Amino acid sequence: MQSSKSQEGKLLNPLKTKKQKALEDFNNRIRDCDRCRLSLTRKHILAGEGDMDARIMLIALSPGENEDAEDRMFIGPSGQVLDKLFHEAGMEREWIYMTNLIKCTLPKCRRPKMDEIESCSKFLEDEISIIQPEIIVPLGYYATRTILTKYHADPPAARKDFKKKYGILIFSDDQKILPLPHPATLLYDPSFEHETIEKYKKLPILMQACKWYSMCPMKRFYEAGRLERKWIELYCKGIWQNCVRYEMEELDHYHFDWMLPDGSPDENLKGY
């Protein structure tokens, strides 16, 4: 039973109510989809789940057999791997919103066909528009290729080169993107577990801005229009542990105000 306080909170937060209504309408709209052949073999169209106000939106490829049967995200073998990765990274499922690139299960876990991805792409775009995540986290090749293409973030031409994108925060078309390996890859090759965990550890870092940001010269330069937004999004409000300024602050080492987060000087900021 909801407390009167929680009910009052909903009444006082019409934006959340509007988002919740939009998501419910979206889920009802996709339930009877028959745009492609997958409608003939699925049991459910798997809608997204999690915190609709989350900063992070995780996008997997498609539901597996367990997910299709139970109408839940990541409850099969891949879900067990994801839970382990989250545990090692200090993450909780409740902190994010999770969905799929393709809403129906792929028979016998086969690769998706391009027309199946295209059939579902409008649904994913609508879902992103509703959730409005600060960071999109595509898992694996297909989701990463789709998201990088959507936001004009220069997807590699060769599939093998997508691995180089995993764990790298990207800012393109005003959207932050952190591609990560799909948990299922560890089911086939556990030797990559340690480096995959290290990549997943970047997720909790993205949950909050750098503790030095409020007093950092980068904030002042940006608000004065003298610094590109990408520096703020990729470092101050992104992977701030990669920031050279952050490292020097932690070590109490002197550094010039006009030094950029990557350690390079910007003479145009000098004396401002």
Q: Tell me, what amino acid is at 147?
A: I
Local structure of 50: helix, strand or coil:
strand
Please report, in tens digits, the pLDDT of each residue of the chain (272 residues total).
444 444 444 455 666 688 889 999 999 888 888 888 888 888 888 889 999 999 999 999 999 889 988 989 999 999 999 999 999 999 999 999 999 999 999 998 899 999 999 999 999 999 999 999 999 999 999 999 999 999 999 999 999 999 999 999 999 999 999 999 999 999 999 999 999 999 999 999 999 999 999 999 999 999 999 999 999 999 999 999 999 999 999 999 999 999 999 999 999 998 77
Report d(CA 267, CA 264) in Å as an integer.
10
Report d(CA 34, CA 3) in Å as an integer.
40
Packing angle of the helix pair 77-89, 193-200 (nearest 10 deg): 60
pLDDT at 13: 60
Q: Roughly how many angstroms between the first and final C-alpha of the chain, as a whole number?
A: 57
Strand locations in the chain (E): 49-50, 56-60, 97-100, 135-138, 170-172, 175-177
pLDDT at 34: 87
Report d(CA 72, CA 44) in Å as an integer.
10
Nearest of 133, 78, 73 to residue 101 by alpha carbon = 73
* Residue 180, phi then psi, degrees to nearest 5: -135, 155
pLDDT at 52: 93
Q: Measure CA 228 to chain center.
A: 22
pLDDT at 54: 94
Domains and CATH numbers, the chain: 4-205 (3.40.470.10), 213-269 (no CATH)
